[in-house]
């Protein structure tokens, strides 16, 4: 539904309104209760939740079945076989969009946003630091696309009344270890590595386990001659964990290895720390994009939120208020068609 609404220019001033337009109060409620509770209510067994749902959530969000139902449903959708990636890496989505829009990119780090006024209209001064020093520029509209949490953003909002504060929440630390080596199939119950049949390994919510998931990964650019490594051959494995793997843990998973590359960053919201959904509108023409991650975190959700903010900014600027927070949109869209 959201793609139809956006194609007709409709926008929403809050995440709650966006969710209501798609699935009513049921979708809003899915951000307030756990995926385990929701699935058990519709007849999914506790064993299936513990053995399958938990494994999927650990491999995607690195969290338990206590995440909200909407985020959990998004994670489960991503576990199906119809997902895809961009050849050359998903980062090409961003660079491709920048090129298509002919955006004027200023390579600098934003340090603050201060509020001014011009002829009764809000004007925003964006302060930034670059390799050439400090600078600033004035804008009629600003979209903040970094999470407004103390651990993620360190820029300030000045001259706003009431002040714009950080949102009380946290992010989940995640460690990705890319290991080129020989899998220790014996650890997984296969003494003969030639008989190991899996390319992905998921885990249940067990306290003594030191990793969330691991999978045999392929290059992002696949040649015609490419073939996946056999189980007894050295292959490239991605291991997801909450803490960096120590040497003993690496020796547990691999008989031997050539190299290990580690990336650690706060990947996803820690959903058990969220109290409410963040706002979309911070000020008159100051918008916040990243709050959608607290509904569910994925590239598609962020793309939907980005288009919503663009349409919302456009509709507010041109006073097309009939395009904002409209009820019964399915009927309206059918009428327009």
pLDDT at 330: 80
pLDDT at 221: 75
**Cβ 18 vs Cβ 283: under 8 Å:** no
CA gap 145, 153 in Å, rounded = 10
pLDDT at 129: 96
Same domain, 279 and 164: yes
CA gap 22, 26 in Å, rounded = 10
Same domain, 278 and 263: no
pLDDT at 220: 74
Same domain, 290 and 331: yes
Same domain, 202 and 262: yes
In a domain, 110, yes or no: yes
In a domain, 306, yes or no: yes
**Cβ 232 vs Cβ 186: under 8 Å:** no
Mean pLDDT by 10 residues, the chain (337 residues): 94 96 92 94 96 94 92 86 78 90 92 91 95 94 89 84 83 93 96 94 93 90 84 95 96 97 90 81 95 91 95 96 90 74
Segments in 15-116 forming alpha helices (H): 15-29, 35-41, 46-48, 54-60, 69-77, 91-101
Same domain, 195 and 257: yes
**Three-class DSSP labels, 193-259:** HHHCCCCEEECCCCCCCCCCEEEECCCCCCCCCCCCCCCCCCEEEEEEECCCCCHHHHHHHEEEEEE
pLDDT in tens, 134-192: 999 999 999 999 888 776 677 899 999 999 877 877 888 899 999 999 999 999 999 99
Among 218, 251, 269, the domain-final residue is 269
CA gap 213, 318 in Å, rounded = 49
Q: Domain range for residue 183?
A: 174-269
In a domain, 16, yes or no: no
Question: For tokens 């288009």, what's the residue?
Answer: 307
3-class secondary-structure state, position 264? strand
pLDDT in tens, 282-313: 999 999 999 999 999 988 899 999 999 999 99
In a domain, 79, yes or no: no
**Which of 49, 103, 273, 295 is CA-nearest to residue 172?**
273
- What angle (nearest 5°) sits at the alpha carbon of residue 36, between those of residues 35 and 41? 100
DSSP conformational letter for 163: P
In a domain, 260, yes or no: yes
DSSP conformational letter for 298: S
Total domains present in the chain:
2
pTM above 0.85, yes or no: yes
In a domain, 23, yes or no: no
Same domain, 223 and 262: yes
Same domain, 163 and 278: yes
| Interacting residues of 91 by C-beta distance below 8 A, sequence separation 6+ | none
In a domain, 291, yes or no: yes
H/E element holding 171?
A: strand 171-183
Cα distances from 53 to residues 57, 61, 111, 242, in angstroms, run: 6, 12, 41, 18
**Cβ 25 vs Cβ 44: under 8 Å:** no
pLDDT at 151: 67
pLDDT at 303: 92
Determine how β-strand 213-216 pairs with β-strand 281-283. unpaired
Same domain, 118 and 189: no
Same domain, 144 and 99: yes
CA gap 93, 208 in Å, rounded = 38
Same domain, 234 and 181: yes
Determine how β-strand 142-144 pairs with β-strand 286-288. parallel
Same domain, 124 and 194: no
CA gap 125, 115 in Å, rounded = 6
Among 214, 240, 269, the domain-final residue is 269
Among 251, 269, 287, the domain-final residue is 269
CATH of the domain at 135: 3.50.50.60
In a domain, 297, yes or no: yes
pLDDT at 53: 95
């Amino acid at each position: 539904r959201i793609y139809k609404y956006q194609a007709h220019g409709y926008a929403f001033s809050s995440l709650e309104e966006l969710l209501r337009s798609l699935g009513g109060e049921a979708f809003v409620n899915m951000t307030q209760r756990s995926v385990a509770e929701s699935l058990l209510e519709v007849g999914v067994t506790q064993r299936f939740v513990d053995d399958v749902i938990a494994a999927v959530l650990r491999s995607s969000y690195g969290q338990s079945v206590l995440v909200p139902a909407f985020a959990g449903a998004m994670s489960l959708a991503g576990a199906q076989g119809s997902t895809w990636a961009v050849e050359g890496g998903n980062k090409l989505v961003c660079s491709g969009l920048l090129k298509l829009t002919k955006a004027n990119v200023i390579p600098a780090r934003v340090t603050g946003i201060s509020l001014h006024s011009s002829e009764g209209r809000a004007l925003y001064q964006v302060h930034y630091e670059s390799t050439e020093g400090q600078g600033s520029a004035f804008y009629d509209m600003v979209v903040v696309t970094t999470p407004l949490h103390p651990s993620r953003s360190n820029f300030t909002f000045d001259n706003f009344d009431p002040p714009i504060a950080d949102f009380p929440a946290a992010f989940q630390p995640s460690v990705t270890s890319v290991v080129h080596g020989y899998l220790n199939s014996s650890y997984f119950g296969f003494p003969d590595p030639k008989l190991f049949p899996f390319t992905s390994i998921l885990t249940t919510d067990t306290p003594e386990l030191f990793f969330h998931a691991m999978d045999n990964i392929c290059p992002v650019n696949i040649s015609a001659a490419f073939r996946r490594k056999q189980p007894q051959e050295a292959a490239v494995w991605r291991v997801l964990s909450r803490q960096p793997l120590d040497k003993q843990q690496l020796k547990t998973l691999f008989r031997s290895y050539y190299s290990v590359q580690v990336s650690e960053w706060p990947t996803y919201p820690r959903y058990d720390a969220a109290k409410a959904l963040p706002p979309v509108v911070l000020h008159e023409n100051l918008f916040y994009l990243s709050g959608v991650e607290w509904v569910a975190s994925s590239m598609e959700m962020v793309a939907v939120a980005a288009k919503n903010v663009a349409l919302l900014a456009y509709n507010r600027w041109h006073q097309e208020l009939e395009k904002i927070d409209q009820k019964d949109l399915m009927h309206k869209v059918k009428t327009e068609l």
